[in-house]
Amino acid sequence: MNLSTGSYRTKILGLVMAASFIALIIFAFWVSPNDDQQGGAVRLLYIHVPLAISTYVCYIACGIASLVFLIKKKIWWDYIALSTAEIGTIFCGLTLLTGAIWGRPIWNTWWEWGDVRLVTTLILFLLFLGYLALRAMPSSNPNANVRRAAVVAIVATIDIPIINRSVEWWQNRTLHQRSTLVELKIEDWTFFTLVLGFLAFGLLIIWLTIHRFRVAWLAGEIDSLETELALKKRLEESNI
């Protein structure tokens, strides 16, 4: 059995991703200008915003993969769900961390309860921590645990818009900026660097998912082999 999690193609993908991150660092620190209002703190947004979008992409992918798993019963859909949930949760934690670091000089606080996206992201983080805790639980019936986790992931994904709307109504305000990206109100180099950030993090999601998927698949194969070996041993013992 090939125990490597990579291949020639993933190595190429990894190199392209590494190059895009180097380019992102160069553009973020040396090419893009300071913001009129935010000053140098704007540079943190080049990773904060792509991280936040990547989190939501991972969680939605996890929800979809879980739903397909429940319908098709193909285990590799569950591997995709697990991989994207783990990656999404790491990204989500980093989103909250970079958001807090950015918020301190800009909003003059580490945390703002009145901000919809901030509170929504925190709740999502907790939801998927629960999902990962469930996945990490030892179980005599792994198949049951996988189904349970799929239901939890679907519920968490369905909850995303409900949580967002309820938090928005709850405080009726947000400190976050409106969609300056869509309305193209930002400087040319700033916009380009942000797009570069999206590209780099998009490639990182794909690269990490492929490797994490392969780890999950190998773990599954090892479990099957161990079961097979145990059965074989039992049969040999009974023949004696």
Partner 1 sequence: MKQIWQVCLKDLKVELRSRIVIFQVLPFAVLTIILFAFAFEADRAALRDYAPGLFWVTVLLATFLFVLRSFSIEVEAGAIQSLRLSAVKPQYIFFGKALALFIGMFILEVILGVATFFLYDVSVESPSLLIVSAILTTAAIASAATLYGILSANLKARETILPLLMLPVLIPVFLGAIRAFDDALGAVAVNGWAWLSVLGVFAFIYAVFGSFAFGEILEEVE
Contacting positions for partner 1 (CB under 8 A): 70, 123, 126-127, 129-131, 133-134, 137-141, 143-144, 147-148, 151-152, 154-156, 158-159, 162-163, 165-167, 169-170
Cβ nearer to partner 1, comparing 49 with 127: 127
* DSSP-derived secondary structure letter, 32: S
Cβ nearer to partner 1, comparing 149 with 200: 149
Name the minimum Å distance from CB 219 to partner 1: 20
In angstroms, the CA 53 to CA 210 distance is: 19
Name the minimum Å distance from CB 152 to partner 1: 6
Name the minimum Å distance from CB 207 to partner 1: 29
Cβ nearer to partner 1, comparing 16 with 123: 123
Name the minimum Å distance from CB 59 to partner 1: 13
Please report, for residues 106, 138, 172, 195, 213, the alpha-carbon distance to residue 4 in angstroms, rounded to integers and kept in the order given. Answer: 45, 26, 51, 32, 12
Q: Which secondary structure element, helix H or strand E, spans residue 48, and what is its range?
A: helix 45-72
Name the minimum Å distance from CB 230 to partner 1: 21
CA angle 128, 129, 134 (to 5 degrees): 95
Closest CA to 124 of 168, 82, 89: 89
| Residues composing the chain | 240
Cβ nearer to partner 1, comparing 23 with 132: 132
In angstroms, the CA 85 to CA 171 distance is: 29
Cβ nearer to partner 1, comparing 78 with 102: 78
